[in-house]
Amino acid sequence: MTSSTMIHVRVNESVKTQATQALTAMGLTVSDAVRVFLTRIAADQALPFAIKTPNAASRAAIDEAESIIKNHHARFASADALIDDLEKASSQ
């Protein structure tokens, strides 16, 4: 029998709860899922899913959102300006 080791992971409580519910529906525990995940990484020498960087448009949107949050400054001065911009974009 091979020896085992303990892994401690910090994760947001809501994420853990949602993941536990999904895994339970699949008949797995969180520990089972972690073992499957690590086993796949060991076997494939890669993550079992692709990690992609955001494209230029997504990165620009993320940067804009972070700026709005940081500066507490909306992109549009009024709701009318927002609607005008949306209508202009949808007609293109």
The CATH number assigned to the domain holding 8 equals 1.10.1220.10
Is residue 43 domain-shared with residue 65, that is, in the same domain? no
Is residue 28 domain-shared with residue 60, that is, in the same domain? no
Is residue 4 domain-shared with residue 40, that is, in the same domain? yes
Q: Which domain, by its residues, includes 40? A: 1-50
pTM of the complete model beyond 0.75:
no
Check pLDDT > 80 for residue 75: no
Domain count, the chain: 2
pLDDT at 41: 96
Cα 23 to Cα 31: distance, rounded to the nearest angstrom: 10
pLDDT at 74: 72
